[in-house]
């Protein structure tokens, strides 16, 4: 009898020991398993460092065969067309602004309406772009072009912007003026402009988010404006001096009137007012390069306008008090010819408007 009790106790002890050991192994195994799947942000499950976006990003190469109206490709700067102005509307999350005032920044224009299901699906990506690249030079502008009367009500737009957590600027396009100016055909449409305000990329519909981000990063990395190579284009102090009789022989009647007699051509009549080709503008009298098309913008004044010269030394500024007003005259530094005037109502990044006479310039197209 005692033998049977001892045997039973032995079995109980062995069973209890096995249970304890098994539980201990199970806990250890679970802890090890949790550790194996808890990785740091910069390593993958094989413990290899991951490349960050900055390290792995390779700028896109523009498609030189794409025309200015191409979609879903990065259009070459030489083929790109200037972006139309934004029509007047009510602004949310920003003071009213213009495409010209956004010069120097990459601009993503999103055509949307809050009643559009596909438009709402794009918002998380646009908000991510805004958070990631706003401080690096990106501005997103949501152009709200409504489809129904309900979507036209400003209070409903305000509610939708707040409800969807949109923090970037939004402007109303109630009558569809901006929509038509950009030749938009459907919601949503994303148009991305470079720092000179040229349309470099267009996509219709949802998706292509990775491509859009690559375009943004590529355009942010592009240089803003051509600056002079002083060895070839910058003014080095040389002067060209001729008699007025000599100038009269070399220049046309119109050129002489503007360049030597400080005249002004009539607005909207000049050859280069509406010129959108890419190249350089030189002095018509002596050939010194003065302005680049990269700095040209639509001022609406009727004269070709630039926000900065190729090199500051290439132009000379003098006070002009003719006609009972005080203005700043702009002259060619090499030959002293009159070019036009400069005003302080231009776009960013300089805030200047070099208002030039077409007849005083000679355009050299880039090949």
Q: Catalytic residue positions?
A: 355
End-to-end CA distance of the chain: 111
d(C-alpha 330, C-alpha 213), whole Å? 41
CA 189, distance to chain mean position in Å, is 16
d(C-alpha 142, C-alpha 113), whole Å? 9
What are the beta bridge partners of residue 171?
91, 143
**Edge-to-edge strand ranges of the sheet holding 199-204:** 91-92, 170-172, 138-144, 106-112, 189-193, 199-204
Q: What is the DSSP letter of 288?
A: -
Complete DSSP assignment for 86-124? PPP--EESS----TGGGTTSEEEEEEE-TT-HHHHHHHH
Taking the CA atoms of the chain, what radius of gyration do you get in angstroms? 32
What are the percentages of helix, strand and coil residues in the chain, rounded to 5? 35, 20, 45
Sign of CA dihedral 254, 280, 224, 76: positive
d(C-alpha 291, C-alpha 356), whole Å? 10
d(C-alpha 251, C-alpha 260), whole Å? 10
Contacts of 288 (CB under 8 A, 6+ apart): 235, 282, 314, 332, 333, 334, 335
What are the beta bridge partners of residue 49?
43
């Amino acid at each position: 009898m005692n033998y049977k009790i001892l045997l039973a106790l032995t079995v109980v002890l062995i069973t209890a020991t096995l249970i304890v050991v098994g539980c201990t192994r199970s806990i250890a195994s679970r802890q090890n398993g949790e550790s194996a799947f808890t990785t740091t942000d910069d390593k993958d499950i094989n413990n290899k460092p991951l490349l960050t976006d900055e390290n792995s990003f390779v700028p896109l190469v523009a498609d030189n065969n794409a025309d200015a109206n191409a979609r879903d490709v990065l259009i070459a700067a030489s083929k790109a067309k200037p972006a139309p102005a934004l029509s007047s509307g009510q602004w949310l999350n920003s003071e009213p602004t213009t495409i010209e005032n956004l010069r120097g920044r990459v601009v993503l224009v999103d055509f949307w309406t809050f009643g559009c299901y596909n438009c709402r699906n794009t918002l998380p990506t646009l908000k991510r772009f805004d958070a990631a690249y706003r401080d690096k030079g990106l501005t997103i502008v949501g152009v709200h072009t409504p489809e129904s009367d309900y979507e036209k009500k400003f209070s409903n737009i305000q509610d939708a912007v707040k409800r969807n957590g949109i923090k970037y600027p939004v402007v109303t396009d109630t009558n569809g003026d901006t929509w038509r100016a950009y030749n938009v055909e459907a919601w949503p449409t994303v148009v991305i402009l470079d720092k000179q305000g040229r349309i470099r990329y267009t996509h219709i519909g949802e998706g292509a988010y990775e491509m859009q981000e690559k375009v943004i990063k590529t355009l942010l990395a592009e240089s803003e404006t051509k600056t002079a190579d002083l060895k070839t284009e910058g003014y080095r102090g040389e002067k060209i001096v001729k008699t007025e009789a000599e100038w009269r022989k070399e220049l046309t009647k119109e050129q002489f009137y503007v360049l030597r007699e400080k005249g002004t051509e009539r607005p909207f009549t000049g050859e280069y007012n509406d010129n959108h080709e890419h190249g350089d503008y030189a002095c018509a009298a002596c050939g010194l390069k003065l302005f680049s098309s990269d700095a040209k913008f639509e001022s609406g004044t009727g004269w070709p306008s630039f926000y900065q010269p190729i090199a500051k030394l290439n132009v000379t500024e003098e006070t002009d008090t003719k006609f009972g007003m005080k203005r700043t005259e702009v002259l060619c530094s090499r030959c002293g010819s009159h070019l036009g005037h400069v005003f302080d109502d231009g776009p960013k990044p300089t805030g200047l408007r070099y208002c030039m006479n077409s007849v005083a310039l000679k355009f050299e197209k880039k090949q």
